[in-house]
Chain A
Amino acid sequence: MEKEMIRTDASPKGKNGDHVIEIVSMNKWFGSFHVLRDINLSVREGERIVVCGPSGSGKSTLIRCINRLEQHQDGIIRVDGIELTEDLKKIDRIRSEVGMVFQHFNLFPHLTILENCTLAQIWVRKTPKKEAEALAMQFLEKVKIPEQASKYPGQLSGGQQQRVAIARSLCMQPKIMLFDEPTSALDPEMIKEVLDTMIELAQEGMTMIVVSHEMGFARQVADRVIFMDDGQIVEQNEPESFFNDPKSDRTKLFLSQILGH
C-alpha cells in the first residue's frame, strides 16, 4: 500500500524525466584487474535506483566512478550532460552537483556539525556565512538533529552521524545523491532512522543511486533494482519483478542468500 502511494505521489518524473546520468560501455581496471566490465546504465531525473550484489562485485566502484572518486579507463560517463574527463573544472562542477554519502560517514571530526554542513557552501559555493548557516540548520532540521549543531561528530551516535552526512551533502543542493552502503556500518536500531531520512528524500523526488542490501528499502522506494556480480550488471528490473521473479541464476542464488535468514 505504502509503496504504491510513494511511487505515484513522489516520482512523476521517474518514468519519463530526462537522463541525468548516462554510462555507455564503461570499463575500469584496478591495475590488471578488470573491476567494471561493459557497464551501460542511464538514470532519469527523479529516479531511485538500488544497486545490490555480493561484496567485490563492483557496486561501490560503480557509483564512485559517477563523481570521479575513481577514474574509468574506457567508455563514457555523462552526468547532467557533462562528460567526465580529465578536466578538473568539470569534475569540480559535477562533484558539487552530485552528493555522496559514505558507509563510514566521513564527517570532519575537527569541525562541529554546523561547520561540517557550511564548509563546502562557504568555500565552494562562496555563500556568505550567515546564509550558509541558515541553510545548514534547515537541512539539519530536515534530518531531525538541529539540536546537535554545535557538537562534534565524535559526540554523536552512528545513526546521527550518518544523518548529518546526508544533511552535509544536501547543503550543496545536489541534483543527484549517491549512497554507498549508508547503513552497513550502523547498529540495527539506528538503521531505521537513516532509512527514514532517505525515504523522505526519495518522496521529495531526489534522484538517488543507493548501494545497499536493505531489501525492504529497495521494495519500498526503488524504481529499479540493479544486481551486479563480477563487475557486470547481471540483472535489472522493477523491484516487484526483481524480488518475486528473478531471471538469472546468480540473482536467484544471491537473493536466496540474503533473504534466506
Chain B
Amino acid sequence: MSKIESNVEFVRKEDAPVLPPPINQVGLIGWLWRNGISSMINFSTITGSIQSVLMILLTVVVLYLGLNGIWTLVDFAFIQAIWSDADELKRLACATTLQGGSLPEEWFGACWPFIAAKSKLLIYGVYDIDEIWRVNLTYLILLVGIGWVVIEKMPYRFHVGIFLLVIYPIVAFVLLTGGNLEIANSTLIIMILVSLLISVFCFLIYRGFLGEGFLAAYTVFNAIRYLSIYITMVTIIFTSDFGLVTVETDKWGGLLVTLVVAITGIVASLPLGILLALGRRSSMPVIRLLCVLFIEFWRGVPLITVLFMASFMLPLFLPEGTDFNKLLRALIGVTLFSAAYMAEVIRGGLQAIPKGQFEAASGLGLSYYQTSRLIILPQALVLVIPGIVNTFIGLFKDTTLVLIISLFDLLGMIQSSFADPNWSTPVQSLTGYLAVATIFWVILFSMSRYSMFMEKKLRYEH
C-alpha cells in the first residue's frame, strides 16, 4: 500500500503467497464459529458484551428446552415403553399397580403392544381377512413402482412411471373393490358409440374435410379421442368379472383410506391444476372466466364444508335411488379442492417465465400447445416444485378430515380403537397418536426430501 501511495508507479515482481485460511474458517471449529461462537465472545464494547451474554443465556435456555423435550420423548417412546405382551395381558401389560397391573407407580411409557394388536385395523381397516392379500398386492406394486421410478439407476424408469399413472390405478381399483361394477349395458354401448364417433370426427379433421380451423385444433380433438377411448376401456374392465369377491368401501380403513384419498388427490390434482392455470392465463375470455370462477369457488370454501356438502347435500340433488359411493364423493371433493390450490401454485410458475420465451417460441413457429408443453411448462413446473410438494403435503394431511364424513383413515381408525376397553390405559391415546404421527411424518418427510433432491437435480444453469 505504502509503495503505491508514495509512488504512482507500481510493478509486482513476484506473486503474493497463497496462504491457508484462518482456523475459524474451516472444519468443525469453523462451523461452530460461524454458527454461534462468534456472536458470544465479543466483549470489546459494552453493547457487544451485553449481546454476547444474552446470546449465551438464550443458547443455554434453548438447548435445555430442546434436549429436555427430546429426552421426554425418547424416555416415553423407547426407554420406559412396553414392547411386548407375551402373556396376552392386554391392558394389564401397560398398567401400574394402582391400575391393576404390575408396573411401578411412576411408570409413564408407550404401550406398543396396543399398536401391534391394532395394526391390522390401522393398515387395512375392517377389510375382509381372506382378501387382505389384495390390499397387500396393491401396496406392493405401488412400493416397487415408486421405488423403481425414484431410484435413478433403474432402467425403463419412464415406462414404469407411465404404468404407475395409467395402468396401476385400474389394477388397484379392480384389486381393492373386486371390480365387477354394475353398469347397464346400454350405458356401455353409448360410451363405445361416443368414442367411435369422436374417432371418426378426428379422422375427418385429420383429412382436412372440416376446414383449416379444425385442423389447427387437431391435437386437442385427438387428446379428447384418446381420453374417451381410455375411459370406455377402463369402464369395460371395471365391469368385467375377475372372480374377485366384492369388498365394499365401507370396510376400507386406516392407511388404505389415507393412501387412496391422498394418492388419487395428488395424481388427479396436478394435471387438473395445470389445465386450470393455463386456462386462467388464456386469451379466450370465456375459458379464463370459467377457470377463475372454479378456482375462486374451491379456494373460498373450507375442505370440511366441501366434504360435508359432498356427503350430505349432494344426495339431495341427485335423482332418487342413485347410490353414489361415499369414498368416491370424498375423492372428487378432495381432488377438485386441491386442484384449485395447485392451479394457483402453477400460475405463479407460469408468471415467472419471461415474455421472451413465449416470443422466441412463437417466433420459431411453435403453436400455443407446443409452446406450453415444450417450453413454458417444463420451466414453470421446475420453478414451483416446492409449492407443488407443499400442496401435496397439505393434501396428504387434509385426508384426516374425511373422518367427519365417517370414513376411517389412519387417524380415524386409531381414534375409534381408543374405545376398546381391553386396551384402555392412560397411555393408550398418547401411544396411538404417537404412532400415527410417526407414520405421517415418515411419509411426508420423505416426500419433502425427495422434492429437494429433484429441485437440485433439475436446476439448470441460469
A67 touches B375 (CB 8 A): no
Instruction: Tell me the minimal C-beta distance from B387 to chain A in angstroms.
Output: 18
B362 touches A120 (CB 8 A): no
Q: Which B residues, 376 to 391, have Cβ-Cβ distances below 8 Å to chain A?
A: 378-379, 382
Chain A residues, CB < 8 A from B382:
110
A95 touches B363 (CB 8 A): yes
Chain B residues, CB < 8 A from A102:
356, 359-360, 363
Task: Report 29 cross-chain contacts, Cβ distance below 8 Å, ordered by A residue.
Answer: A69-B363, A88-B216, A89-B212, A89-B216, A92-B367, A95-B363, A95-B364, A96-B365, A99-B363, A100-B359, A102-B356, A102-B360, A102-B363, A104-B354, A106-B357, A108-B361, A108-B375, A109-B462, A120-B365, A123-B370, A123-B374, A124-B365, A124-B366, A153-B461, A154-B460, A168-B364, A169-B363, A172-B364, A172-B365
Chain A residues, CB < 8 A from B354:
104, 106
Q: A137 interface residue, CB < 8 Å from B?
A: no
**Pairs of residues from A and B, 3 with the lowest C-beta to C-beta distance, nearest first:** A154-B461, A96-B365, A106-B360
Q: In the complex, A93 Cα to B460 Cα: how many Å?
A: 32
Chain B residues, CB < 8 A from A110:
378-379, 382, 460
How big is chain A's contact interface, by range?
20 to 34
Chain A residues, CB < 8 A from B361:
108
Q: Which B residues, 162 to 204, have Cβ-Cβ distances below 8 Å to chain A?
A: none
Q: In the complex, A102 Cα to B356 Cα: how many Å?
A: 8
A106 touches B366 (CB 8 A): no
Q: In the complex, A100 Cα to B378 Cα: how many Å?
A: 23
Q: A157 interface residue, CB < 8 Å from B?
A: no
B212, closest chain A residue (CB): A89
Instruction: Tell me the minimal C-beta distance from A196 to chain B in angstroms.
Output: 23
B215, closest chain A residue (CB): A89
Q: A150 interface residue, CB < 8 Å from B?
A: no
A69-B363, A102-B360 known; 20 new pairs, CB 8 Å cut-off, are A69-B359, A89-B212, A95-B363, A95-B364, A96-B364, A109-B379, A109-B460, A110-B378, A110-B379, A119-B374, A123-B366, A123-B374, A124-B364, A124-B366, A124-B370, A153-B461, A154-B461, A154-B462, A155-B461, A172-B364
Q: A107 interface residue, CB < 8 Å from B?
A: yes
Q: A152 interface residue, CB < 8 Å from B?
A: yes
Chain A residues, CB < 8 A from B462:
109, 154
A100 touches B363 (CB 8 A): yes
A95 touches B378 (CB 8 A): no
B364, closest chain A residue (CB): A120
B460 touches A107 (CB 8 A): no
A107 touches B374 (CB 8 A): no
Q: In the complex, A194 Cα to B362 Cα: how many Å?
A: 23
For A105-121 the 0/1 string (1 means CB < 8 A from B) is 01111100000000110
Q: In the complex, A68 Cα to B200 Cα: how many Å?
A: 35
Instruction: Tell me the minimal C-beta distance from B359 to chain A in angstroms.
Output: 5
- Among B216, B362, B379, B460, the residue within 8 A (CB) of A69 is B362
Chain B residues, CB < 8 A from A119:
364, 366, 374
Chain B residues, CB < 8 A from A168:
364
Instruction: Tell me the minimal C-beta distance from A71 to chain B in angstroms.
Output: 12
A124-B365, A169-B364 known; A106+B359 contact, CB < 8 A:
yes
Chain A residues, CB < 8 A from B378:
110
A119-B374, A154-B460 known; A108+B357 contact, CB < 8 A:
yes
Instruction: Tell me the minimal C-beta distance from B406 to chain A in angstroms.
Output: 47
Chain B residues, CB < 8 A from A153:
461
Q: In the complex, A98 Cα to B359 Cα: how many Å?
A: 13
Q: In the complex, A92 Cα to B215 Cα: how many Å?
A: 13
Chain B residues, CB < 8 A from A165:
360
A104 touches B356 (CB 8 A): yes
Q: In the complex, A165 Cα to B356 Cα: how many Å?
A: 12
Q: In the complex, A155 Cα to B370 Cα: how many Å?
A: 25
Instruction: Tell me the minimal C-beta distance from B367 to chain A in angstroms.
Output: 7
Instruction: Tell me the minimal C-beta distance from A87 to chain B in angstroms.
Output: 8
Q: In the complex, A241 Cα to B461 Cα: how many Å?
A: 47
Q: In the complex, A98 Cα to B356 Cα: how many Å?
A: 17
Chain B residues, CB < 8 A from A69:
359, 362-363
Interface core residue of B360, B363, B378, B382 (most chain A CB under 10 Å)? B363
Q: In the complex, A168 Cα to B360 Cα: how many Å?
A: 10
Q: In the complex, A241 Cα to B379 Cα: how many Å?
A: 48
Instruction: Tell me the minimal C-beta distance from B216 to chain A in angstroms.
Output: 6
Q: In the complex, A173 Cα to B216 Cα: how many Å?
A: 23
Instruction: Tell me the minimal C-beta distance from B268 to chain A in angstroms.
Output: 26
Q: Which A residues, 67 to 109, have Cβ-Cβ distances below 8 Å to chain B?
A: 67, 69, 88-89, 92-93, 95-96, 98-100, 102, 104, 106-109
Chain B residues, CB < 8 A from A106:
354, 356-357, 359-360
B366 touches A120 (CB 8 A): yes
Q: Which A residues, 138 to 186, have Cβ-Cβ distances below 8 Å to chain B?
A: 152-155, 165, 168-169, 172
A119, closest chain B residue (CB): B374
Q: In the complex, A172 Cα to B462 Cα: how many Å?
A: 25
Chain B residues, CB < 8 A from A169:
363-364
A95 touches B365 (CB 8 A): yes
A87, closest chain B residue (CB): B212
Q: In the complex, A56 Cα to B363 Cα: how many Å?
A: 22
Instruction: Tell me the minimal C-beta distance from A83 to chain B in angstroms.
Output: 16
Instruction: Tell me the minimal C-beta distance from B456 to chain A in angstroms.
Output: 15
Chain A residues, CB < 8 A from B364:
95-96, 119-120, 124, 168-169, 172
Instruction: Tell me the minimal C-beta distance from B373 to chain A in angstroms.
Output: 9
Interface core residue of B356, B359, B365, B378 (most chain A CB under 10 Å)? B365
Q: In the complex, A141 Cα to B135 Cα: how many Å?
A: 58
